[in-house]
Amino acid sequence: MIHPTAELLFDHEQIRMDLLRQRAFNLRWASVDPGVIPLTAADPDFPCAPEIADAIARYAQDRYLSYAPAEGLSFFREAMAMSYNERKQVNAKPEFVIACDSAAFGIYTVCKAFLKPGDEAIVFNPVDFLFKHSVEAAGAQATLLDVPLDPNDPIDMDRLQQLITPRTKLICLCNPLNPTGKVFTRGELEQLAIIAEQNNLIILSDEIWSDIVYKPSTYISMAAIAAAEQRTIVVTGFSKSYGLAGLRAGAILAFNQTHFDCLMEASGHRSTVHGCNVLAQVAAAAALTEAGEWLNAFVEHLHRMRDFTVNSLNELPGVRCHVPLGCYVAFANITDTGASSEEIHRLWLTEAKVAVVPGLPRWFGSRAENHVRLSFATSATILEEAFDRIKKIQAL
Ligand SMILES: Cc1ncc(COP(=O)(O)O)c(C=O)c1O
């Protein structure tokens, strides 16, 4: 039985298609031909929580939009630390939180802070392209660790050990893992902590998806593993849980003064070359303090959409899809269709008018080939229509 709030907030009627077609870019409604359903970039089709819009309006009405402190507004930093401590049982301190303009910039800042040319960093394969991009932007080299495509399978820790050299400085952890939907177990995080300690590595823990975890799985932050806390930097954001991608808001959580100073230096915030704008911080703080009910209802809705999406994919000839434990993307193996991911992408786009993300190495790494990724952060009506269309062409 779905909670009435989830039913109401995430009903198809809530979606403003006219506004999405004007405002949702990055491979989505405003970037595709009319008539195409874009199950592409992971960005919800629903409007954000009303509490967030109210907070932005209240702040803007005062008509003072002055510079914020370089590390972020104190109420944002407090809200971030408090919400992390309550929800994820970590010991985050507001004075070590940095507001930044997106999780993407958070990842980049951590790489810039802890890597120099000639260094190496462990990056999963497959994973979102941002990690390899940021490691290389810092002049370092990404060493790719193949991770299981089935989210229930464990990471091969022996293989990880083998890949570490004296030049390795950083492990890039993406938990939950986009695109496979893996949620790391406490045991796996503890093993990672031991390996990081033995090799004196920093752990960049991207936790942007950490609120989107489906029962009975539970989320454990890398920073909640006591042995790893002092070598962990958490990066998180507001695009996935709260649908605020266009605000470009994010946060970096350090756990000691040395790391905080190093991150501030790398961020470019003190020179005002970069920084998180005040309205984004106001919105993000409201999300953390006032939109908890909305978020719970969103996850409840997504749980139903996940089940529908995975079942529908598995009914298509030649398509196999594991059930993601976290994230709102389905990562479907299309090997048995005999077509490449780009061919499936093109076929579904032209014949069914449904856009998905092909598993190209530039998006997710080489192990994503023979896969397509679909976002299911939309209404049941839109997903049903998308799969009706795909089923029709599969039947041709
Ligand atoms: C794992 C991961 N990290 C970071 C990001 C980027 O988030 P933001 O919009 O805050 O830059 C994404 C977006 O898809 C993601 O999947």
**Of all atoms in ligand 1, which is nearest to the CA of residue 249?**
10
Domain spanning 57-290: which CATH class is it, in words?
alpha beta
4-18, 35-49, 81-95, 336-350: range with lowest mean pLDDT: 4-18
Domain spans of the chain, in order of start: 4-48+292-394, 57-290
Q: Is 178 in the pocket of ligand 1 (CB under 6 A)?
A: yes
At 257, which amino acid appears? Q
From the list 132, 83, 55, the residue with the least C-alpha distance to 253 is 83
CA of 174, closest atom in ligand 1: 1
Binding site membership of 237 for ligand 1 (Cβ less than 6 Å)? yes
User: What's the rounded mean pLDDT across residues 217-244?
Assistant: 98
Does 235 have pLDDT greater than 70?
yes
The answer on pLDDT for 348 being more than 60 is yes
Residue 396 confidence (pLDDT): 52
Whole-angstrom Cα distance, residue 363 to residue 53? 32
Pick the atom of ligand 1 nearest to 105's CA: 11
Confidence of residue 108 (pLDDT cuts 50, 70, 90): very high
Positive or negative, the Cα torsion across 376, 380, 382, 386? positive
CATH code matching the domain that covers 4-48+292-394, chosen among 3.90.1150.10, 3.30.910.20, 3.40.50.720, 3.40.50.300? 3.90.1150.10
Q: What is the pLDDT of residue 83?
A: 97
What pLDDT shows up at residue 7?
A: 84
Cα–Cα distance measured from residue 190 to residue 204, given in angstroms and rounded to the nearest whole number: 15
Return the pLDDT at 3: 66
pLDDT tens digits, residue range 2-19? 667 788 899 999 999 999
Pocket test for ligand 1, best of 134, 208, 238 (most atoms within 8 A of CB): 208
CA of 235 relative to ligand 1 center, distance in Å: 10
- 227 Cα: distance to centroid of ligand 1 (angstroms): 26
- Measured between alpha carbons, how far is 324 from 333 in angstroms, rounded to an integer? 13
306 pLDDT band (50/70/90 cuts)? very high
Least confident of 4-13, 109-118, 120-129: 4-13
| 160 in contact with ligand 1, CB cutoff 6 A | no
Average pLDDT rounded to a whole number, residues 166-188:
98
pLDDT at res. 2: 64
Ligand 1 centroid–CA 61 distance in Å is: 30
Distances (CA, A) of 233 to 146, 170, 184, 262: 22, 10, 17, 11
d(CA 104, ligand 1 centre) in Å: 6
Whether the Cβ atoms of residue 228 and residue 201 lie closer than 8 Å to each other: no
pLDDT value at 333 more than 60: yes
pLDDT at 157: 98
The pLDDT of residue 106 is above 70: yes
Instruction: Say whether pLDDT at 100 is over 60.
Output: yes
Residue 337 pLDDT > 60, yes or no? yes
Ligand 1 close to Cβ of residue 101 (< 6 A): no
The SS3 of residue 142 is: strand
Q: What is the position in ligand 1's atom list of the atom closest to the CA of 42?
A: 14
Q: What is the rounded average pLDDT of the residues 250-278? A: 97
Percent pLDDT > 70 in the chain is: 98
User: How far, in Å, from the CA of 128 to the mean position of ligand 1?
Assistant: 8
Q: Mean pLDDT across the chain, nearest whole number? A: 97
Q: What is the pLDDT of residue 6?
A: 83
